[in-house]
Amino acid sequence: MSPLLALSLLLLAIPIAWFVRRRRARASAPRLPDGWRARLDARVPQAALVPAALRERYEARVEAFVARKRFIGCNGLVVDDDMRLTVAGLAALLLLRDDATLFPAVRSVLLYPAAFLVRHEEPDELGLVDDEPVEQIGESWQGDRVILSWEDVEAALAGDAVNVVIHEFAHQLDDENPWSEGAPPMADYTQWSQVMQREYERLQRHRRPPVLDPYGAESPGEFFGVVSEAFFQRPVELRRHHAELYALLARYYRLDPAAAPPLWPAA
Ligand SMILES: [Zn+2]
């Protein structure tokens, strides 16, 4: 082959390869439809908690979440743009820190229509395997996925005290720091461990806690999930009964939901 022919073939190949790559990138990354910012505000009341100064960052993280995470409908559920936007809009509320990363371990979000049955095969502390299926509304796997009940995602939008998206993605933040349970990565743990430890022990002692779900007393990891839910779903009550804990979470999440107008009419 003459050098000139080889060069012209090479020049032709470059744009073709570039075009194919662009086409592939577009086909594999779902994009949000026009008008998604207004839909986000209409669908996700909690989006109103993001201050104007952080709105651009918030929107960029919602968009990146939808583009990079794979959504899978289970038990016949068809996942649409609104569902993707809603889950991304709630999960990205946890990512307003300067150094936040986009839940790097999570590759897929599995959505079930409602609570789902799970059979766990890991042996318990006595070495016994319980093969009775357990009903769950969400799960966070150390590894690659978060599983959610869509019915319970919608309940959180309507003001339920439980917010399964916040809870499961808080577990993901926690897992980003493999050396401790109940603490996401941060530069200085001094204050975090003091406040969280004190409040965790307080919940373990409390027979009828006024704000926090008693399930949070199961482990430091569940405690972080439960207090994060209360921070978004019951912020005024959390601040009233657990002022230090509220302030700690407000600093970490860069939000002050108790100072914002209430998202739902008082229960
Ligand atoms: Zn949990």
Q: Is 163 left (phi over 0), alpha (psi -120 to 50) or beta?
A: beta
Counts for the chain of helices (H) and strands (E), in that order: 10, 6
In a domain, 194, yes or no: yes
Hey, what are 185's tokens?
A: 């990565």
* Ligand 1 is an ion; residues with CB less than 5 A from it: 222, 225
Rounded distance from Cα 167 to ligand 1 centre (Å):
6
Positions of the chain with pLDDT under 70: 1-29, 122, 124-125, 130, 267
pLDDT digits (tens, 9 = 90+) for 138-171: 999 887 999 999 999 999 999 999 999 999 999 9
Q: How many domains does the chain have?
A: 1
pLDDT recorded at residue 125: 67
Rounded distance from Cα 19 to ligand 1 centre (Å):
44
Rounded distance from Cα 148 to ligand 1 centre (Å):
12
CA separation for the pair 234, 263 (Å, rounded): 10
Rounded distance from Cα 5 to ligand 1 centre (Å):
63
For residue 56, what are the domain limits? 33-259
pLDDT recorded at residue 43: 97
146-155 in b/e form (b: 16+ CB < 10 A) is: bbbbbebbeb
Phi/psi for 117 (5° steps) reads -95, 135
Q: Closest Cα to residue 45, out of 89, 80, 81?
A: 89
pLDDT recorded at residue 120: 73
Q: Which residue has the tokens 């439809």?
A: 33
In a domain, 11, yes or no: no
In a domain, 236, yes or no: yes
* CATH code for position 153: 3.40.390.10
Rounded distance from Cα 30 to ligand 1 centre (Å):
29
pLDDT digits (tens, 9 = 90+) for 167-188: 999 999 999 998 889 999 999 9
In a domain, 158, yes or no: yes
In a domain, 196, yes or no: yes
Sequence-ordered strand ranges (E) for 62-218: 70-73, 108-112, 116-118, 134-136, 138-140, 145-149
Burial of 205 (0-12, 13-18, 19+ CB in 10 A): exposed
In a domain, 5, yes or no: no
- C-alpha to C-alpha distances, 11 to 4, 5, 8, 19, nearest whole angstrom: 11, 10, 5, 13
pLDDT recorded at residue 150: 98
pLDDT recorded at residue 4: 59
pLDDT recorded at residue 107: 96
CA separation for the pair 55, 31 (Å, rounded): 19
Rounded distance from Cα 173 to ligand 1 centre (Å):
12
